[in-house]
Amino acid sequence: MAGRGDVHVREATKEDVPALIDLTARRTPHYERWWVSTVFEGNVEVHAAPMLFEAGTFVGYGTATHRSGAPEHQRTVQVFVDRAASGRGLGSDLLARCLAALPDSTTEAWTKVHDDDPESLAVAQHWGYEVMQRSISSRVDLAGATPPQPPLGVTLEDCDGLEFDGADAVAFDAMLTASQTNPEAETSHVLTREEMQHWTDPGETPVACLARVDGRPAALAFAIVLRSTGEGGVAYTGVDPAYRGSGLGRLVKEQLHARAAQLGIAWLGTENEEHNAGIRHVNQQLGYVKTHGVYRMRRVLRGGWG
């Protein structure tokens, strides 16, 4: 351990994950445990994961990470301090340690704060983060989910590995690019198939459904599920603009729900930008219920990490 006085810091390991999850749940009850449990998996590069102890008691931690396939200039930096220990600069110390560990190529640090936690939002803004979007999280019970019947000319295809060949791969990638209505596509980066293929960690199962219109890729829904716990999340839903308004977004999500239910998944969560009226309307029709909101925040780093 390294530190001074009664404050000590050491780097977290995979064995510390239960303690990290416990502190996170106390600080931010809505925070999904998989955001913490996947930090030390193979698809995530950990630049720093300082755990802070005060008088021998674990009171906070931070993580600076990069997921395989994500833009090279971006990193995710998260900081959590037990509420009983807040207000003493411990979070600032953890943040500084995380930022100092980032590669020189990093120009953006991203984080998220739940919208029912104004204290954490104010702290993040004080640290130089700006709100890029507010997303609405919701979840749906999959009891009774059944496969939909596609209309004439539309086929539904399972494509969990997102593996395509030749001209079909080119057509899929073009559809994926065109389908993105999320603010990140304009403000930070366009999602790629390669990036999505690295979203799944050991123990997780990808579930993807592609809708084709006359054989051409037209819409996609992609989820990640944990069969061990019976839960999962819809990570992406998109429809090529040329085919919007024909119910394809609902169709691929219904197929996704049916397949997840067949795997023993009880419910799926999802997150959508608050102004994305189209997909939020589809979710409401499918029975999704709002649980909370999330601010996606970015800090632009100038001259290295400082």
Express each pLDDT in 182-218 by its tens digit. 655 565 578 999 999 999 988 899 999 999 999 999 9
Q: Is 296 left (phi over 0), alpha (psi -120 to 50) or beta?
A: beta
Residues 16 and 62 in one domain: yes
Residue 128 lies in a domain: no
Residues 157 and 290 in one domain: yes
**Residue 158 belongs to domain with CATH number:** 3.40.630.30
pLDDT band at 134 (very low <50, low <70, confident <90, very high): very high
Residues 153 and 245 in one domain: yes
Q: How far apart are CA 186 and CA 301, in angstroms?
A: 19
Residue 214 lies in a domain: yes
pLDDT in tens, 172-186: 999 999 999 765 556
Residues 181 and 275 in one domain: yes
Residues 229 and 171 in one domain: yes
Q: How does DSSP classify residue 15?
A: G
142-158: burial string, b at 16+ Cβ within 10 Å, e else:
beebeebebeeebebee
Residue 305 lies in a domain: no
Residue 80 lies in a domain: yes
Residue 240 lies in a domain: yes
The fraction of the chain above a pLDDT of 90, given in percent, is 79
Could you tell me if 85 and 60 are in contact, meaning their C-beta atoms sit under 8 angstroms apart?
A: yes
Residues 173 and 43 in one domain: no
Burial zone of 260 (CB within 10 Å; 0-12 exposed, 13-18 middle, 19+ buried): buried
Count CB neighbours of 206 within 10 A.
18
Task: List the beta bridge partners of residue 51.
Answer: 10, 61
> Which domain range does residue 65 map to?
2-106
Residues 64 and 171 in one domain: no
Whole-number average pLDDT of the chain: 92
Q: Please give the tally of structural domains in the chain.
A: 2
pTM of the predicted protein model: 0.83
Residue 113 lies in a domain: no
* pLDDT at site 185: 56
Residues 13 and 76 in one domain: yes
Residues 178 and 290 in one domain: yes
CA neighbor of 247 nearest in space, from 162, 153, 139, 183 = 153
